[in-house]
Amino acid sequence: MTTHHDAPWAPEAEPAPAALTPADVADAARLVSFGLQAKLLPARDAEYAELVRRHREDPPFARLADAVATGMGLVVLEVSARAGMAVAAAEDSVFAVRMGDYSRRAASESTDRFLHGLAHLAVAAMAFPRPEDLADDGYLGRITVNGVDAFVRQACRRLEEQADAAGDNTDPQSDAPGLEAAWRVWARRTATGATKDARRLSGSTIGITGKAVLFLVDSGFLQKTADDAGGTYRTTARYQLQVRDLAASGAMAELLDLGVVPVSDGSATLLPADHSEELVADAGLPFHSL
């Protein structure tokens, strides 16, 4: 006769997780909708903060919210109190803002569209000049509009010096890759120019940089802090995540290889030639320009 003492022991079954309800789906979609509002942070909206907390503490809800985002063609970069639900649009998403779309709105000439791309590259390079800056969640990059233009112009001068030294200082083909196709165009363009009422020309390099920066402000990537030097801005957590995730380090490595060094006040300087290898050693910084 078998007693209860002889019965094989079996652990108690864990209760089945509660089934997700239509209300949970609505909450997940609501969280994604908050994430699409680039300038909104959880600290400014109690409902957003609660949904972010739930995402972090409730794995089934987190998976549901992530699946909703994926179905909308979005990539979830991070969900946190500092950044909210930071999302990036996949290439085929209806939410994707392509550089071509942006530049067609910002510039009528194809050359100007190319210069807008270069301005975005320079802003990211100056905002996060070192790999450790990009990796540090507490780091705030700072840029100025005038500083970005000065940074690109110094890169142009360094490229011109290299072309002269190589005996190759002739105009490249219009479809030449990389910075080689851009430096002559930027260097020849006026920095400010002026209209009859003394406003800077939109097609000047500072005008182009200003448009690029305002686009980043509207996208929740930069915040204005002062009017100095054409406008002074600091980075947001969302921009740091975007630059981390969407990396195209070839263009960044080209800039770093020139020895043009962004510094913390939003200006730029040139690294002595004998220090070039030190700078290139830090060129692992990933980069993407929209």
User: Is residue 4 in a domain?
Assistant: no
**Residue 47, both tokens:** 């409902």
Percentage of the chain with pLDDT > 70? 63
Give yes or no: residues 167 and 56 share one domain: no
Tell me, what amino acid is at 271? L
288 inside domain: no
**Domain span at residue 29?**
22-89
- Which region holds residue 258: left if phi is over 0, alpha if psi is between -120 and 50, else beta? alpha
The pLDDT confidence band at residue 276, using thresholds 50, 70 and 90, is very low
Collapsed DSSP state (helix, strand, coil) of residue 85: strand
The per-residue pLDDT for 245 is 66
Nearest one of 137, 139, 124 to 221, comparing CA atoms: 124
Q: What is the mean pLDDT of residues 78-95?
A: 86
Structure token pair of residue 179:
């910075």
Q: State which of 62, 89, 116 marks the end of a domain.
A: 89
Residue 104 shares a structural domain with residue 201: yes
Whether the per-residue pLDDT at 252 is higher than 80: the answer is no
Residue 13 belongs to some domain of the structure? no
What confidence score (pLDDT) does residue 43 get? 94
* Averaged pLDDT for residues 141-154: 91
Please provide residue 234's backbone torsions phi and psi, each rounded to the nearest 5 degrees.
Answer: -120, 160
- Please determine, for residue 44, whether its predicted confidence score (pLDDT) is greater than 70: yes
Residues 48 and 164 in one domain: no
Domain identity same for 57 and 130: no
Check whether 80 has a pLDDT greater than 80: yes
pLDDT tens-place string over residues 174-188: 444 455 556 778 888
Angle, helices 237-245/110-127, rounded to nearest 10 degrees: 110
Same-domain pairing of 154 and 44: no
Q: What is the mean pLDDT of residues 234-249?
A: 77
- Asked if 36 and 85 sit in the same domain, the reply is yes
Identify whether 174 is part of a domain. yes
Query: Are 66 and 122 within one domain?
Result: no
Amino acid at 278: E
Same domain assignment for residues 196 and 251: yes
107-121, 142-156, 235-249: segment of lowest average pLDDT: 107-121
109 and 33 fall within a common domain: no
pTM across the whole model: 0.68
State the Cα–Cα distance between residues 89 and 91, nearest whole angstrom.
6
Q: Are residues 150 and 223 in the same domain?
A: yes
Confidence band, pLDDT 50/70/90 cuts, at residue 131: confident
Dihedral of CA 67/71/72/74: which sign?
positive
- Mean pLDDT (whole number) for 222-226: 94
Do both 131 and 257 map to the same domain?
Answer: yes
Q: Is residue 251 part of a domain?
A: yes
132, 54: one domain: no
Banded pLDDT at 90 (limits 50, 70, 90): confident
pLDDT, averaged across the chain: 75
Does 3 reside within a domain? no
The per-residue pLDDT for 79 is 96
> How many structural domains compose the chain?
2
**Per-residue model confidence (pLDDT) at position 188:** 81
Answer whether residue 289 is part of any domain: no
49 has a pLDDT exceeding 50: yes
Secondary structure element (H or E) that encloses residue 222, with its range: strand 222-226
Q: What confidence tens digit (pLDDT) does each residue in 2-23 have?
A: 555 555 555 565 555 667 899 9
Between CA 234 and CA 219 the distance in angstroms is 13
Domain membership flag for residue 276: yes
* Domain end residue (candidates: 89, 108, 142): 89
Tell me which of 65, 89, 113 is where a domain ends.
89
